């Protein structure tokens, strides 16, 4: 049986899966690495830790396969990070990650050089602290000696491709989260780079997600137990890859996706690169050759996990049961899930969360339910911004939060879209493997690969009705907190 491998370089660890031609998982392996926060607002990782984790996971996967033929490897990973390489291919420093907030000054510099409206028109987004482009300016501003030695800047998954094959490359979905890719023309925007005095030579070549960028080197074959020469496919950024794993693409009209993971993500495919005029939600290239809108609530299941940590005496099941007993609206209690700042639609990294309306009548169950409702209402506000540009008639639901019927019902009610829980979820690693099926020639096109590997879904969880008064109260609560944290 011929297999493909899909690797997903996440923030907390690397996941590797082996898939059959029908997209069925045959084996899985994981390897972890630390997250470093040397200063408040900074998040970074050592690219060499990623390399060790990739070898560990691939070795473990290879041991499970019993000599089965591997015909391709696909890659995915956290978007927006910056791996700064010298000419020898060595990292110059730790890699700042997608949620790193050190670049506020550089974001201002970018939008002084290129008006925000022009950035949005060209790249689909304004300048964002987590994106790679401001990180490049940060290196030049803060470490000019290192910047002088800089040869290439790579995204995290593309650094894996470099390790595996020696190729310096990227693809449209991940590259569109850098901040320097012209979306309509799918090329590095030389006008933007010239305005910032940056050379386009700092970036790798860019192309389609399913293309083969290189072949597994003898050194990595020896280190992992795989055969040298296996084709390595460019892959996709984690959100685009996860969408492919769910079968979500421009080829299935009216289908988006909702992830209730640590962050909450609404993903809506679109044929045209039409950005939200104010940049309140992201527009990126999709791995299927089209585009997609992306709206993010940064602390979704992360909010529930934070609250659970405050009550170590009981388990999550008990907390969710207590939430079921609390009434809709929690008797006037609202939770604003801005624990790590907020992305969509406020783009306010300094915003902070809050419980509003607390009284002596509120109990633990009210707090838990308020978190579930607050996250759902936050996602509803995100979707209200996205819907005029592209909408969905149904949303496959994934992530740890999708295990809760109550949370899916609240989210479906807040968005006004039925949500179907997906049976089995390999996330971005599965999507990377599907791209490898195309690159390896198992399927002649991505459309055919997606049709053959589409996952099963459960019937939609009935959306909870009657949320409009709650939505209005939530919006008013957000206005109060936005005023509090203005500038």
Structure tokens at 63: 């041991």
* C-alpha distance from residue 375 to each of 31, 33, 382, 479 (Å): 30, 29, 11, 16
Q: Which of 100, 174, 238, 288 is catalytic?
A: 238
Query: How far apart, in whole angstroms, are the C-alpha atoms of residue 196 and residue 204?
Result: 18
Residues in the chain: 487
> Is 189 in the active site?
no
Of the candidates 75, 57, 89, 77, which has an alpha carbon nearest to the alpha carbon of residue 226? 57
- Tell me if 92 sits within 8 A of 151, measured CB to CB: no
| Residues forming a β-bridge with 396 | 420
Within 10 angstroms of residue 245's Cβ, the number of other Cβ atoms is: 35
Query: How far apart, in whole angstroms, are the C-alpha atoms of residue 370 and residue 161?
Result: 43
Burial class of residue 104 (count of CB atoms within 10 Å of its CB; 0-12, 13-18, 19+)? middle
Structure tokens at 442: 């198992």
| Residues forming a β-bridge with 338 | none
Of the candidates 455, 456, 463, 381, which has an alpha carbon nearest to the alpha carbon of residue 418? 463
Q: For helices 132-142 and 104-113, what crossing angle results, to 10°? A: 100
Q: Using a CB cutoff of 8 Å and minimum separation of 24, what contacts does 464-472 make? A: 464/328, 464/409, 464/410, 464/412, 464/413, 465/413, 466/328, 466/413, 467/328, 467/377, 467/380, 467/410, 467/413, 467/414, 469/329, 470/328, 470/329, 470/373, 470/377, 471/377, 471/380, 471/381, 471/414
Q: Annotated catalytic sites, by residue?
A: 238
């Amino acid at each position: 049986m011929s297999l493909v491998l899909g690797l997903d370089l996440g923030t907390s660890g690397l996941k590797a899966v082996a898939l059959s031609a029908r997209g069925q998982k045959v084996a899985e392996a994981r390897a972890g690495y630390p997250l470093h926060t040397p200063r408040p607002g900074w998040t970074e990782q050592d690219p060499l830790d990623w390399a060790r984790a990739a070898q560990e996971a691939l070795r473990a996967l290879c041991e499970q396969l019993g000599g089965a033929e591997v015909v391709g490897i696909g890659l995915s990973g956290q978007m927006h990070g910056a791996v700064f390489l010298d000419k020898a291919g060595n990292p110059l420093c730790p890699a700042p990650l997608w949620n790193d907030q050190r670049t506020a000054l550089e974001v201002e510099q970018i939008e002084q050089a290129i008006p925000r409206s022009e950035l949005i028109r060209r790249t689909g987004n304004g300048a964002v602290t987590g994106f790679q482009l401001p990180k490049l300016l940060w290196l030049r501003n803060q470490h000019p000696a290192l910047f002088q030695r800089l040869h290439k800047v790579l995204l995290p998954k593309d650094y894996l491709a470099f390790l595996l094959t020696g190729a310096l490359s990227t693809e449209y979905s991940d590259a569109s989260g850098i901040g320097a890719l012209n979306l309509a023309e799918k090329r590095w925007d030389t006008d933007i780079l010239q305005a910032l005095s940056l050379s386009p030579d700092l970036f790798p070549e860019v192309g389609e997600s399913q293309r083969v960028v290189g072949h597994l080197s003898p050194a990595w074959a020896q280190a992992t137990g795989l055969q040298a020469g296996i084709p390595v496919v460019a892959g996709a950024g984690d959100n685009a890859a996860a969408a492919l794993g769910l079968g979500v693409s421009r080829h299935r009209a009216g289908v988006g996706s909702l992830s209730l993971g640590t962050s909450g993500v609404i993903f809506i495919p679109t044929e045209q690169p039409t950005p939200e005029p104010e940049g309140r939600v992201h527009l990126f290239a999709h791995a299927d050759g089209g585009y997609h809108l992306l709206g993010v609530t940064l602390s979704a299941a992360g909010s529930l996990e934070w609250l659970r940590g405050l009550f170590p005496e009981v388990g999550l099941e008990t907390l969710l049961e207590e939430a079921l007993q609390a009434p809709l609206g929690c008797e006037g209690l609202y939770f604003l899930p801005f624990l790590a700042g907020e992305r969509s639609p406020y783009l306010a990294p300094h915003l902070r969360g809050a419980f509003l309306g607390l009284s002596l009548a509120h109990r633990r169950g009210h707090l838990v339910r308020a978190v579930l409702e607050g996250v759902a209402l936050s996602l509803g506000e995100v979707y209200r911004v996205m819907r005029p540009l592209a909408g969905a008639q149904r949303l496959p639901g994934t992530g740890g939060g999708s295990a809760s019927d109550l949370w899916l019902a609240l989210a479906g009610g807040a968005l006004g879209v039925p949500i179907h829980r997906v049976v089995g979820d390999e996330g971005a690693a599965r999507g990377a493997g599907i791209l490898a099926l195309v690159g390896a020639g198992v399927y002649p096109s991505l459309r055919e690969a997606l049709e053959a590997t589409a996952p099963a879904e459960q019937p939609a969880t009935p959306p909870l009705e009657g949320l409009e008064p709650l939505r209005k109260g939530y919006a008013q609560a957000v206005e109060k907190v936005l005023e509090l944290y203005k500038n």
